[in-house]
Amino acid sequence: MFVENQIIKDEYRIIRKIGEGGMGTVFLAEDLQMQQEVAIKLLHMAMTTDPEIVERFKTEAKAQYKLTHPYIVKLTRLVQNGEHYFIVMEYIEGMTLKEMLAKTGLLPEDRALPIFHKILRGLAYAHSQGIIHRDIKPGNIIIDKNGNPKITDFGIAKILGDKGLTQTGTKLGTVYYMSPEQIKNPKGVDQRTDVYSLGITLYEMLTGKLPYNTGLDSEYDLMNEIVNTPIKNPLDFYPHISPGVVKMIYHMTYKDKLERYAHCEEYLDFHLRKPEKDEKQSTAQNVSSGAASFVLLLGLAALVVLLFIFGNDIQRWIQGSKASIDSVFVNQDSIDRVEYERLQDERNKEKKKKEKDTVKPKDEKPVDTVKTEKKPVDEETIPPDTTGN
**So which residues are the catalytic ones?**
135
| Cα-based torsion angle of the residue sequence 231, 236, 242, 245 in order, rounded to the nearest 10 degrees | -10
Q: Where are the alpha helices (DSSP H) in the chain?
A: 45-48, 51-65, 97-104, 109-128, 156-163, 180-184, 192-207, 219-228, 243-252, 277-327, 332-357
Q: Which amino acid is at 265?
A: E
Backbone angles phi, psi at 237, to 5 degrees: -95, -35
Helix, strand, coil % over all residues of the chain, rounded to 5: 50, 15, 35
C-alpha 109, offset from chain centre: 15
Whether 143 contacts 95, CB under 8 Å: yes
- Alpha carbons 15 and 7: distance in angstroms, whole number: 10
134/193 Cα distance (integer angstroms): 7
CB 132 within 8 A of CB 193: yes
Whole-number Å distance between alpha carbons of 169 and 239: 36
Helix H or strand E encompassing 207: helix 192-207
Q: Any bridge partners for residue 149, and if so which?
A: 143
Residues near 101 by beta carbon (within 8 Å), at least 6 away in sequence:
107, 138, 204, 205, 208
Cβ 219 vs Cβ 171: under 8 Å:
yes
Inter-helix orientation angle 243-252/192-207, to 10°: 140
DSSP 20: E
